[in-house]
Chain A
Amino acid sequence: MLISHFTAMTVFAFLVSVVFGVLSKHTPREQAIYAAKVFGAFVGIALLLGWVMFLVPW
């Protein structure tokens, strides 16, 4: 299965976020909100680090 690194990273983040949300919180609403936050953090930080690595000259 040929997919890009970004797609693999996003799918990975989604699956991990779902598991983290289910295990960490107790009500469905709390689980969904926490999973969304974790997913956002995964992808956001990865994008941020990508730009940092792009802009750093060495």
Chain B
Amino acid sequence: MALLPVVGARAQEGFDQRVAKKTIEEAVAEKPKVRSGFLVRLLVAAWLIPGCGHFLLGRKWRALILFASILSMFVLGVAMQGEFFTLHSASYLRRLGFFGEMCVGVAMPAAFFFGYAGGDPYFVTSDYGTAFLVAAGMLNVLTMLDAYDIAMGRKP
């Protein structure tokens, strides 16, 4: 008779665990699966225009702030005569710099289109400008990853 409370407590604990597991499984099953096509489009949009991924997910204020900040950083980099790296350079770091700058999206080809030839490396603030350009690209990568996490339901 003295064992009944112990056996009862263990049975109750096992029952609670089964209920909790079922609740978690139901919650995971209820979370809608995101189609991979939508994710690809979202990431491409987020890459091409900073903040566009968040805009497509309905986070309009967040999208606006990210767009303004990243684009401001890029424009300031251009204003300070920052250098545009190319893929054809001998240094691996410069080729990495090209990919870093390309992460801003359509802004870099647009700057080329409007006549920005890649800055003057001998200008006084050229180094700062280059840092601004690459940092803008890196911030856009963080923005893309954040949009991905929101789309996957990992973040509110």
Contacts and interface: CB of A to CB of B under 8 A. Distances in A.
Interface string B39-65: 000000000000000000000001001
Contacts of B76: 1, 11
Nearest to A26: B156
A18 B125 contact: no
Interface string A1-20: 11101001001100110110
Contacts of A16: 135, 139
A23 B143 contact: yes
Given A12-B135, A19-B66, 11 more contacts: A2-B124, A2-B125, A3-B125, A8-B128, A16-B135, A18-B65, A18-B69, A19-B70, A19-B142, A22-B65, A22-B69
Interface of B: 62, 65-66, 69-70, 72-73, 76, 79-81, 124-125, 128, 131-132, 135, 139, 142-143, 146, 155-156
